[in-house]
Chain A
């Protein structure tokens, strides 16, 4: 892990701690989702910094991060799958395919990517706001409370906590 990765990982870990606290306390969905979106963006950026060059500033990245993990070089595949709790790399790839829709929804929570619609930070639409995040029921929250969504949250925790073990793959 290089020094750039370490900085992004440290921030992702702290954001993840905040997310866990908010989820467990039952604070409004928007706050939990805001932190979860930031965790996923930052752990993706921590990973992409492995090249030593800055990844794009865009808030997108989590979907691409999952895709990269699903296409690792052969030498790293089985070890990485086990690290993420899967018995076989093919199981890990299948799992990534099934959770990508939720990952896309998480990515689109960032205000820049939300198309002037539901996001966890600012009232929308921008020009004539009619909704505030704090009183909105987010579809992605419903997805996260299913078995697959909870499973994704477990894997995100592993991605954060065990980052040094796969940061260079």
Chain B
């Protein structure tokens, strides 16, 4: 099956809305397509329930999804506190290597 049948942007949108709907701590989701592999979805989730943290915790968690099917992809989620998100926006806090906010799409709870 050709790789083009996997629609990364639609899938990212689905994850973002689903996480906003089902996870009470998540208040905003940012989808970061820049620099990502075509089968890789990178999300930053701003979460008000994970508590104040130092920067040790800034680590994306990866999940392999639908392995072995035409929709196989990897989902990376970086959870940040609202305070950490502010610092990322002002570039006081760096993103993981090769992650970029260029072209980021924002989803929020409706």
- A-side residues, CB < 8 A to B, are 23-27, 82, 84-88, 91, 94-95, 98, 145-148, 150-151, 153-155, 157-158
Quick check: B54 and A87 within 8 Å, CB to CB?
yes
Establish whether residues A91 and B51, one from each chain, have CB atoms under 8 Å apart when the complex forms.
Answer: yes
Residues of A within 8 A of B23 (CB): 146-147
Which residues of chain A have C-beta atoms less than 8 A from B52's C-beta? Answer: 86-88, 91
Q: In the complex, what distance in Å separates the CA atom of A95 from the CA atom of B51? A: 7
Interface residues of B (CB under 8 A from A): 22-23, 25-26, 45, 47, 49-57, 59, 61-67, 72, 74, 77, 79
* A143 CB to nearest B CB, Å: 10
| CB–CB B62/A24 < 8 A | yes
Contacts of A148 in B (CB 8 A): 25, 49-50
CB distance from B102 to the nearest CB of A (A): 24
**Contacting residues, chain A, for B55 (C-beta < 8 A):** 85
Identify whether the interface residues of B are mostly helix, strand, loop, or mixed: mixed
Q: Are A26 and B72 in contact (CB under 8 A)?
A: yes
Beta-carbon contact of B64 and A24 below 8 Å: yes
Bound: A103/B51 CA distance, A? 18
Partner of A26, one of B47, B50, B64: B64
Are A85 and B50 touching (Cβ within 8 A)?
Answer: no
Q: How far in angstroms is the closest Cβ of chain A from B41?
A: 13
Cross-chain pairs A/B with CB under 8 angstroms, 19 sampled: A23-B63, A24-B74, A25-B64, A26-B64, A26-B66, A26-B67, A85-B57, A86-B54, A87-B54, A95-B50, A98-B49, A146-B22, A146-B23, A147-B45, A147-B47, A147-B79, A151-B50, A151-B57, A157-B59
Closest B residue, CB atoms, query A157 = B59
Q: How far is the CA of A24 from the CA of B76 in the complex (A)?
A: 9
Does B54 contact A23, Cβ atoms closer than 8 Å? no
Residues in B with CB closer than 8 Å to A98 are 49
Q: How far is the CA of A25 from the CA of B26 in the complex (A)?
A: 25
- Chain B residues lying within 8 Å of A147, measured Cβ to Cβ, are 23, 25-26, 45, 47, 49-50, 79
CB-defined contacts of B22 to chain A, threshold 8 Å: 146
B68 to chain A, nearest CB (A): 8
Closest 7 CB pairs of A and B: A26-B64, A26-B67, A85-B56, A85-B57, A147-B47, A150-B61, A25-B64
Q: Give CA–CA (A157, B62) in the complex, Å.
A: 13
**Is B53 a contact partner of A86 (Cβ separation < 8 A)?**
yes
Closest-by-CB residue of A relative to B60 is: A150
